[in-house]
């Protein structure tokens, strides 16, 4: 009986107040969580009720008196979905999601103002007492939600917000229990959050402000700007160029003359006395960024160097454009510091009790290399009826790799897809078309017009999520939703036959000229292909899952380029391999899809 107690404790934490019964995979997850006792990684198919499993995991820890507790996801939209399903979750968002009350007439978000320098803001909420700086005024929405989140319970937030609470804020403790939803995206979110762009324009504005308040740090920043421009100007124009080790060391040598802590304290004092925070808001924001990011710049540059103990973890590249007569561009020279190997960082922010899950984990070894998460791994089978879906890899479509395809082939195959979309639309079935590049997206939209296909996409002021929403709501108005994998490869849910047909043009292998590609080639050699194949396989599985969200859905996915054939079948979960069709022509695949979708 004793061995059953941990499982019963987990099962008793299931949110029965929200769901009347547990799904089979939720029961399996409870058993696994109880048996592992510490951290665990789960691959759970779409429709398995992952969010409820995460809440169950955290409620179990909460019953045991553990705190704080975090539930993290890649995007605000997913946080909102989790909160909608489980209202007891305390939502915490970054400054960009909250209105600023200091500048009441400018309709600004808190991330657009020099918030950290405005310590005398009347609306600031004391994180110990919950009181505003000036009694009786409306509390700052950002600081108020932070204070409330710290009072206990389960906090739901984005991965980026959580990262900064653990790495850069001294206000938050390491969580006693942590749930990571869509865990396969964690590494890319951390990379993005820890990457920086430095421009000549912003540095000049900072120098002007530092000079105006008599700060000696202006000398060091001016030297850094001169050094940066001299290094960048040696490189080919209008190309992204990776910096050499000696160049990175030279930049670090200049920044090393600045003490970030002293600079932060002194500038904060001077700003409060001498600088109008309304008139100089934009420059103060840049100054705040420098003051608080300077140590991060130094650390990131240091991690771009080889040491006796490790290879480079980051890389640095530059970009600049030729000066054109009459040009009004404020920025000509850019320096990018890109985080790459983030697994050590992620390890630092994990809890001793971490539940990581996703519908797409794939190879747990590669997943562990990318994320640093190496907990016991379990892949759960799906209860989705596999006969409701097909994964088509036609035999007669071309290889669209840059070195393999002819010049006209991309246009020809895009037209073939447009014609197929027209065929399906005539039968009452809409499509999602996912491409890789902007050029492909624009070309396909043009071909849709020629083939009389009513397509909708983003651009010209229309955001990607707004276009997707119009497509969902505009049944009868649009035949096809079109976008790149970056926008529609994940996060766009089209269940209940909203778009039962998906076309995915080609895998998104990195460009040979991209600095990240060059860095990975140098660092890993031929081993980089294992990593790249894992990434494109995760991308392929995510695209396939856009129209299959529950057991009642019907949906098919066409993988067009023959590049997919190398890894697609082997990378599918075993339960899904039965739906794979790789020996039929494109027309035969269309015919089978029509039969499945009951087209006449």
Three-class secondary structure assignment of 481-534: EEEEHHHHCCCCCCCCCCCCEEEECCCCCCCCCCHHHHHHHHHHHHHHHHHHHH
Q: Quick one: 189 exposed, middle or buried, by C-beta within 10 A (0-12, 13-18, 19+)?
A: buried
pLDDT tens for 539-569 read 999 999 999 888 788 999 999 999 999 999 9
Q: What is the pLDDT of residue 1?
A: 36
The pLDDT, as a whole number, for residue 523 is 86
Q: How distant, in Å, are the alpha carbons of 194, 209, 214, 319 from that of 310?
A: 19, 39, 41, 27
Look at residues 553, 572, 433 and name the one whose alpha carbon lies nearest to residue 492: 433
Q: What's residue 295's pLDDT?
A: 79
**Which portions of the chain are predicted below pLDDT 70?**
1-4, 267-268, 270-274, 324-329, 599-600
Give Cβ neighbours of residue 12 (< 8 Å, ≥ 6 apart). Answer: none
Cis peptide before 68 (omega within 30 of 0): yes
Residue 131: count of CB within 10 angstroms of its CB = 12
pTM here is 0.88
Q: What does the pLDDT read at residue 20?
A: 82
Asked if 187 and 371 count as a contact pair (C-beta separation under 8 A), the reply is yes
Q: DSSP class of residue 243?
A: P
b vs e for 202-240, b when ≥16 Cβ sit within 10 Å of the residue's Cβ?
bbebbbebbeebebebbebbbebbebbbebbeebeeeeb
Cα 476 to Cα 487: distance, rounded to the nearest angstrom: 23
d(CA 291, CA 355): 35
What pLDDT, on a 0 to 100 scale, did the predictor assign at position 325?
57
pLDDT at 271: 66
Closest Cα to residue 537, out of 508, 497, 501? 508
What is the structure's pLDDT at 101? 92
CB atoms within 10 A of CB 48: 24
Contact 250, 357 (CB under 8 A): no
With CA atoms as reference, report the closest residue to 595 among 386, 387, 384: 387
Per-residue pLDDT reduced to its tens digit, 126-142: 999 999 999 999 999 99
Nearest to 177 by CA among 201, 206, 149, 154: 154
Whether the CB-CB separation of 179 and 62 falls below 8 Å is answered with no
């Amino acid at each position: 009986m004793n061995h059953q107690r941990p499982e019963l404790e987990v099962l008793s934490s299931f949110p029965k107040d929200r769901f009347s019964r547990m799904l089979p995979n939720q029961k399996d997850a409870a058993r696994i969580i109880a048996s592992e006792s510490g951290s665990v990684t789960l691959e759970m198919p779409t429709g398995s009720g992952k969010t409820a499993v995460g809440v169950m995991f955290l409620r179990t820890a909460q019953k045991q008196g553990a705190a704080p507790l975090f539930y993290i996801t890649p995007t605000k939209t997913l946080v909102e979905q989790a909160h909608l399903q489980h209202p007891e979750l305390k939502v915490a968002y970054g400054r960009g999601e909250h209105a600023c009350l200091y500048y009441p007439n400018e309709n600004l978000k808190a991330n657009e103002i020099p918030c950290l320098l405005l310590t005398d803001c009347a609306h600031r909420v004391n994180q110990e007492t919950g009181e505003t700086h000036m009694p009786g005024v409306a509390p700052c929405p950002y600081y108020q939600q932070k204070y409330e989140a710290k009072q206990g319970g389960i906090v739901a937030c984005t991965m980026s917000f959580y990262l900064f609470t653990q790495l850069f804020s001294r206000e938050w403790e390491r969580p006693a229990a942590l749930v990571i939803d869509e865990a396969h995206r964690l590494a890319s979110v951390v990379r993005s959050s820890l990457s920086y762009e430095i421009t000549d324009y912003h540095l000049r504005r900072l120098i002007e402000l530092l000079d105006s308040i008599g700060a000696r740090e202006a000398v060091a920043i001016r030297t850094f700007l001169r050094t940066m421009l001299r290094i960048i100007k040696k490189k080919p124009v209008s190309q992204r160029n990776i910096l050499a080790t000696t160049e990175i060391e030279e930049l670090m040598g200049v920044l090393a003359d600045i003490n970030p802590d002293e600079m932060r304290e002194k500038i904060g004092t001077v700003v409060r006395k001498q600088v109008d925070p309304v008139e100089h808001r934009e420059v103060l924001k840049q100054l705040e960024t420098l003051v608080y990011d300077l140590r991060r710049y130094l650390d990131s540059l240091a991690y771009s160097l080889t040491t006796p103990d490790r290879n480079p973890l980051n890389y640095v590249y530059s970009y600049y454009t030729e000066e054109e007569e009459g040009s009004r561009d404020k920025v000509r020279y850019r320096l990018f510091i890109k985080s790459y190997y983030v697994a050590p960082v992620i390890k630092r922010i994990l809890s001793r009790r971490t539940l990581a899950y996703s519908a797409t984990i794939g190879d747990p070894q590669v997943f562990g290399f990318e994320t640093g998460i190496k907990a016991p791994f379990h892949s759960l089978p799906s209860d989705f009826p596999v006969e409701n879906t097909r994964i088509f890899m036609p035999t007669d479509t071309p290889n669209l790799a840059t070195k393999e395809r002819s010049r006209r082939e991309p246009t020809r195959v895009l037209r073939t897809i447009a014609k197929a979309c027209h065929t399906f639309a005539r039968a009452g079935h809409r499509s999602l078309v996912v491409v890789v590049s902007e050029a492909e997206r624009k070309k396909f939209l043009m071909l849709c017009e020629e083939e009389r296909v009513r397509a909708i996409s983003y651009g010209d002021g229309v955001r990607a999520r707004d276009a997707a929403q119009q497509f969902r709501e505009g049944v009868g108005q649009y035949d096809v939703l079109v976008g790149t994998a970056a926008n529609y490869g994940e996060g766009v849910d089209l269940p209940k036959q909203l778009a039962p047909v998906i076309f995915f043009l080609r895998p998104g292998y990195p460009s040979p000229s991209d600095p990240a590609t060059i860095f990975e080639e140098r660092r890993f050699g031929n081993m980089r292909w294992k990593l790249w194949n894992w990434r494109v396989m995760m991308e392929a599985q995510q695209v396939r899952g856009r129209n299959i969200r529950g057991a009642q859905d019907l949906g098919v996915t066409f993988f067009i380029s023959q590049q997919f054939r190398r890894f697609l079948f082997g990378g599918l979960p075993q339960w899904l391999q039965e739906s794979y069709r790789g020996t039929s022509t494109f027309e035969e695949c269309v015919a089978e899809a029509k039969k499945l979708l009951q087209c006449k």
